[in-house]
Amino acid sequence: MIRVAICEDEKETQCLIEDYVDNILNNINTEYKIQKYSSGEELLEGNLKDIDILLLDIQMGQINGMDTARKIREVDNKMEIIFITSLIDYVQ
Protein backbone atom coordinates (compact mmCIF):
# COMPACT_ATOMS: atom_id res chain seq x y z
CA MET A 1 0.00 0.00 0.00
CA ILE A 2 1.21 3.49 -0.87
CA ARG A 3 0.62 6.08 1.83
CA VAL A 4 0.29 9.59 0.41
CA ALA A 5 0.03 12.81 2.39
CA ILE A 6 -1.09 16.17 1.05
CA CYS A 7 -0.04 19.24 3.01
CA GLU A 8 -1.81 22.25 1.53
CA ASP A 9 -3.41 25.16 3.40
CA GLU A 10 -6.00 26.03 0.73
CA LYS A 11 -8.90 23.56 0.93
CA GLU A 12 -9.90 23.92 -2.72
CA THR A 13 -6.37 23.16 -3.91
CA GLN A 14 -6.10 20.33 -1.38
CA CYS A 15 -9.23 18.70 -2.83
CA LEU A 16 -8.01 19.21 -6.41
CA ILE A 17 -4.69 17.49 -5.63
CA GLU A 18 -6.52 14.66 -3.86
CA ASP A 19 -8.68 14.14 -6.96
CA TYR A 20 -5.56 13.99 -9.18
CA VAL A 21 -3.85 11.47 -6.91
CA ASP A 22 -7.04 9.37 -6.65
CA ASN A 23 -7.37 9.33 -10.41
CA ILE A 24 -3.74 8.36 -11.05
CA LEU A 25 -3.57 5.61 -8.43
CA ASN A 26 -6.98 4.17 -9.33
CA ASN A 27 -5.94 3.96 -12.99
CA ILE A 28 -2.91 1.82 -12.13
CA ASN A 29 -4.86 -0.36 -9.69
CA THR A 30 -2.69 0.52 -6.71
CA GLU A 31 -3.85 0.23 -3.13
CA TYR A 32 -3.35 3.54 -1.34
CA LYS A 33 -4.35 5.77 1.53
CA ILE A 34 -4.42 9.57 1.42
CA GLN A 35 -3.98 11.76 4.49
CA LYS A 36 -4.57 15.52 4.35
CA TYR A 37 -2.97 18.26 6.43
CA SER A 38 -3.65 21.99 6.38
CA SER A 39 -0.34 23.19 7.84
CA GLY A 40 3.25 22.18 8.37
CA GLU A 41 2.67 22.16 12.11
CA GLU A 42 -0.23 19.72 11.77
CA LEU A 43 1.85 17.47 9.53
CA LEU A 44 4.84 17.46 11.90
CA GLU A 45 2.57 16.53 14.83
CA GLY A 46 1.34 13.46 12.92
CA ASN A 47 3.05 10.11 12.46
CA LEU A 48 5.59 10.78 9.71
CA LYS A 49 6.45 7.07 9.49
CA ASP A 50 2.99 6.51 7.97
CA ILE A 51 3.87 8.54 4.85
CA ASP A 52 5.61 7.25 1.71
CA ILE A 53 4.97 10.24 -0.56
CA LEU A 54 4.35 13.80 0.60
CA LEU A 55 2.89 16.48 -1.65
CA LEU A 56 3.97 19.64 0.17
CA ASP A 57 2.91 23.21 -0.49
CA ILE A 58 5.76 25.69 -0.15
CA GLN A 59 3.83 28.82 0.81
CA MET A 60 1.86 28.24 4.02
CA GLY A 61 1.18 30.06 7.30
CA GLN A 62 3.47 29.87 10.32
CA ILE A 63 5.95 27.34 8.97
CA ASN A 64 6.48 27.17 5.22
CA GLY A 65 6.95 24.02 3.18
CA MET A 66 10.72 24.37 2.88
CA ASP A 67 11.16 24.57 6.67
CA THR A 68 8.70 21.71 7.13
CA ALA A 69 10.74 19.56 4.72
CA ARG A 70 13.96 20.38 6.60
CA LYS A 71 12.38 19.24 9.87
CA ILE A 72 11.15 16.04 8.23
CA ARG A 73 14.63 15.28 6.91
CA GLU A 74 16.00 15.48 10.45
CA VAL A 75 14.02 12.33 11.31
CA ASP A 76 13.21 10.70 7.95
CA ASN A 77 15.34 10.64 4.81
CA LYS A 78 13.32 8.02 2.92
CA MET A 79 10.02 9.85 2.44
CA GLU A 80 9.57 11.14 -1.10
CA ILE A 81 8.75 14.87 -0.94
CA ILE A 82 7.17 16.57 -3.93
CA PHE A 83 6.86 20.33 -3.59
CA ILE A 84 3.77 22.04 -4.96
CA THR A 85 3.61 25.79 -5.48
CA SER A 86 2.21 28.58 -7.56
CA LEU A 87 5.37 30.66 -6.95
CA ILE A 88 7.45 30.79 -10.13
CA ASP A 89 10.62 31.55 -8.12
CA TYR A 90 10.60 28.03 -6.64
CA VAL A 91 9.99 26.15 -9.88
CA GLN A 92 13.65 26.16 -10.96
Q: Cα separation of 84 and 57, whole Å?
A: 5
Share of the chain above pLDDT 70, in %: 93
Predicted structure pTM score: 0.91
DSSP-assigned beta bridge partners for residue 54: 5, 81
Query: Which CATH number applies to 2-90: 3.40.50.2300, 3.40.50.460, 3.40.47.10, 1.25.40.340?
Result: 3.40.50.2300
Least confident of 3-7, 43-47, 83-87: 83-87
Which ranges constitute the DSSP H helices of 28-84? 40-45, 65-75
Domain extents in the chain:
2-90
* Chain centroid to CA 61: 15
What pLDDT score does 90 carry?
59
